[in-house]
Amino acid sequence: MARGTDGPSFHPDLTRARLMPRTSATARNRRILRALGRLGAGKPPRSGELVPLPDGAHLRVHWPTTAPSHGGLPAVVQIHGGGLIIGGPRGSDALCRTLADSLGAVVASVGYRLPPEHPYPAPLDDCETALNWLAEHPRVDRARIALTGDSAGGGLAAAVTARTVDAGRLTLAGQALLHPMLDDRTAADPSASDPPWLRLWNGASNRLGWGLYLGEQAEDPPTDAVPARRTDLAGFPPTWIAVGTADLFHDEDVAYASSLQEAGTECELVTIPGAYHGFDVAEPRAPISRDTARRRAEALRRMLGVAPG
């Protein structure tokens, strides 16, 4: 994809790209979007259950429709996006149901607490608690647990992975990250102009999200708060990362994948020409969105050691 003076050419499958707003969450609409994300949160998912976690967080647990009566199930922790400040796990129900049935796995989507009321480390702690809940469940094979997440959820998944590697109590099967939000230094300069091709997430929203998440620690973030700031990536599990070339996070995701590969981690990087941030949610029926979902599912299948259905 060439980036000319008028911006890149969007992927031909993404026919609504030019109609999409430059960003989604702003300081003005954040509270409204958060309220919308809570709609239906108290209703359990189909073939699943709601599980309360400490401090007000919760899990939406999706059990596979058909599962063996003996032996541990593979498991996936799904972490929703929303720039660290909006969103909720109910929006991932369709994805979780598809993964649960196609992989024969239990998929737990995390309803983590949000800043500014609950800044770092609360959201990350909630996601780590979700992973531990799965690892301790009697129906789960703790040797076959993977993490996945999109946008902010991908960043939180990477941060949970780092904590897990450091703790050494659990070996993850892998992590599958879709356009993950990894680096607070991206678009950190408020005087810089956004590229004209950005859609659904821009520099101002990125500064808002990271600022509210890091709170008083924004000037000197802790090591586990910002995945891209970590220098030691040795011992990380197999990783799959996908990002579009018209995404604000493109460069940070490519750099993170390169760092993982240099550290000896098996890391597959998928760059999608002309795809903007959140394209898969904005245009879910587009062939490129379906293909990306299929590739994520296949990556998780390999990580979990699940035979093709």
User: Do strands 7-8 and 58-62 pair parallel, antiparallel, or not at all (unpaired)?
Assistant: unpaired
Side-chain half-sphere of 191: how many Cα atoms within 13 Å?
0
DSSP state string for 145-168: EEEEEETHHHHHHHHHHHHHHHH-
3-state secondary structure of 74: strand
Q: List the catalytic residue out of 24, 92, 109, 151.
A: 151
Helix axes of 152-167 and 122-136: crossing angle, nearest 10 degrees? 60
Q: List the catalytic residue out of 150, 184, 247, 253.
A: 247
Contact, 155 vs 133, CB < 8 A?
A: no
Q: List the catalytic residue out of 13, 179, 277, 280.
A: 277
Q: Does the active-site annotation cover 277?
A: yes
Helix (H) or strand (E) holding 102: helix 93-103
User: Do strands 239-246 and 267-276 pair parallel, antiparallel, or not at all (unpaired)?
Assistant: parallel
Q: Does the active-site annotation cover 62?
A: no
Q: Does the active-site annotation cover 151?
A: yes
CA distance linking residue 170 with residue 66, whole number of Å: 27
Which positions are annotated as active-site residues? 151, 247, 277
